[in-house]
Structure 1
């Protein structure tokens, strides 16, 4: 299992664990809410029955009435009692400034029918099934009790969502800080390792260059094709070392004809892969862009290597360069006839560690994306792909005119 797949598996495991915790929290809160809701309905029923007894039995002794009143007043659930025509009989726990029938008692307290109507509507939305009280009189009248959840129950319903939101925000902030710190640490390590590698390669590369010159002189064969290719490889090693020495520092960009830069690398690359793979270079031969050649060669190299690995046996790789005059951009489309990439993997292929090869590190396309986006202010993406038919990568660069306009 490659590092990317292992990392993704751990993410799924942690996500599943977090989901279980969230589910358990919501389930337990719902359990408490249901129990408190049942208790509040019982309290509402007791309040309604005690109110009915006070109204229906006015002649009972004072001690019993006192007991009923004390019981009723201990029940603090907001409620309204209405008859079958929805005329209000009595209420409890509502705003006293809007429920006063006696206007002469306090001019600041007024009866507000709209307030009662809105409260009754809210109670019906929370508990559509009212508590039914039968009066057992000659007309067999019935009262209907509607009530609202208490403040405690309302807050308890919202508590898990508030709690989970706070936890989620905390985890996101903590993850962002931790990830940024870890990434900065890793970058420093990789930058140091790259520069040290470039330094270590310097001595043997210089020796190889001297040996090549000695071969030319000893055998008097400055034009020998084998020695020339050996010299090209040594120069390529020198360029690779130069790439590593530039990691971590801002590269210098120069104006180059894109076609010429790509053509020079393709000519070097094609003789080092199978002759069953055909390279076709076409497009605009004059469009220019600001490029750091050693780094940009790395971009082309990584995509071409990816294309070669995707082709099993015979195939072709087509590189087309064209200019978008409207957006003042340069497009470099690299199309292979390889195995193709599933659509769901279009973004994943640029993730560090992702590879389909047993011996691959999965860093080539990740480096490609970083070089194009961070150093050349461009973009690279999978333009199109079809399983069994091939893939097209597109590199987008700003033209020289656009870059100068944005930096001037």
Structure 2
């Protein structure tokens, strides 16, 4: 399993673990809510029963006892109403308001009590009581503030935890990317520095060989010199990592053609190259842009493998953008992997690092302010990658 797949699997496992904790929290909280709801229903029934008893007895001490029971043990918001919804009594509602127009000590607000009655009707079925006179009364009640808070607590808690985890993940990812960038830039610049001395030395040896054997092996020495020049370009590429490159106007098709002329001599003859399209200018860092084309072409070569195939590069434009399409006749990419192939560490090769396409996207998007993506792919038939750059002008 490649590094990217391992990371994705661990992320999935952590997500499942977090969801499991959330689900357990919700289930347990709902259990507590149901237990408290049953308790409040019993309190409402207690208030209803004691109200019924108060209408049937005349003993003053017993009436005081029933009132004390209602005040101490039936502490839930409730309303006693008749069959026509006339409010006869209420408890645990706003103590500053009253439904009695004769009560001058509090604010008379019948609308408030009507609204509370409707809320109670929506929340719970009423408790019916029949008093001594034969009249049918109804006790309505609603959830206490504690029960209401408990119902929504796990959702608020999970929302807070989710926001915290997202912020922590973003901060950690940003910090990790910053560290990775520093390591990457440091290694790249050190590599460029280390390559400098042997490249200069090899160039000197080639000049000596030209003086001694140039008339016999001129073509061979020229190709050796081309390879050393390519090493110089590679060293220059690494030296530019981490710093903003200088972009200059270049003929995109010419840059692509020059690189293909170098590459096609160094891979299997079973693969044919084709460069088509218009001569168009765009602002490029040629060493870095050649790296993009190199990575896309090498990816195409690996997709074709040991079979015969073709790699086509087509340059086109509209009013605002230049398009470079790299099409191969390789194995193709599943649609589900169109984005995954650009992730660091993702590779289908046994000895691959999975950095080529990730680096390609970095160069195009960060340094050239463009885009690169899988335009189209079909398993067994091939793939087209598209690079989009800001357009210059068409070259005559």
Aligned residue number for residue 406 of structure 1: none
| From 244, 254, 258, the counterpart of 2:252 | 258
Structure 1, residues 173-207: CA drift from partner, whole Å, max 9, x if none?
A: 22222222222222222211111111111111112
How far does residue 115 in structure 1 lie from its aligned partner after superposition?
Answer: 2.7
Is 2:295 the partner of 1:302? yes
Q: Secondary structure at the match of 2:199?
A: helix
Task: Provide structure 2 residue ranges, at least 5 long, that are not aligned to the other structure.
Answer: none
> Structure 2 length as normaliser, TM-score?
0.93
After superposition, the Cα gap between the structure-2 partners of 1:102 and 1:272, relative to the gap in structure 1 and judged at 3 Å, is: same
Whole-angstrom distance in 2 between the partners of 1:350 and 1:246: 21
Structure 1, residues 19-46: CA drift from partner, whole Å, max 9, x if none?
A: 1211121122112111111111111110
Q: Secondary structure at the match of 2:266?
A: coil
How far does residue 214 in structure 1 lie from its aligned partner after superposition?
Answer: 2.2
Q: What does 1:185-334 correspond to in 2, within 5 Å?
A: 185-221=179-215, 224-285=218-279, 287-312=280-305, 313-325=307-319, 328-334=320-326
Whole-angstrom distance in 2 between the partners of 1:64 and 1:252: 96
| From 366, 383, 387, the counterpart of 1:395 | 387
Aligned residue number for residue 61 of structure 1: 59
Deviates more, 1:343-352 or 1:297-306: 343-352
Q: Secondary structure at the match of 1:77?
A: coil
Aligned residue number for residue 335 of structure 1: 327
For the 8 Å contact 2:99–2:113, the answer to whether it is kept is no
Is 2:145 the partner of 1:120? no
How far does residue 236 in structure 1 lie from its aligned partner after superposition?
Answer: 0.8
Q: Secondary structure at the match of 1:200?
A: helix
For the 8 Å contact 2:79–2:89, the answer to whether it is kept is yes
How far does residue 301 in structure 1 lie from its aligned partner after superposition?
Answer: 0.5
For the 8 Å contact 1:96–1:109, the answer to whether it is kept is no
Equivalent pairs, count: 391
Whole-angstrom distance in 1 between the partners of 2:264 and 2:117: 82
Runs of 4+ in structure 1 off by over 6 angstroms are none
Q: What does 1:142-181 correspond to in 2, within 5 Å?
A: 142-181=136-175
Task: Provide structure 1 residue ranges, at least 5 long, that are not aligned to the other structure.
Answer: 402-408
Q: Secondary structure at the match of 2:315?
A: strand
Q: RMSD of the TM alignment (CA)?
A: 1.9
For the 8 Å contact 2:274–2:313, the answer to whether it is kept is yes
Whole-angstrom distance in 2 between the partners of 1:339 and 1:135: 85
Whole-angstrom distance in 1 between the partners of 2:116 and 2:99: 15
Aligned residue number for residue 69 of structure 2: 71
For the 8 Å contact 1:212–1:231, the answer to whether it is kept is yes
> Structure 1 length as normaliser, TM-score?
0.91
| From 361, 369, 374, the counterpart of 1:377 | 369
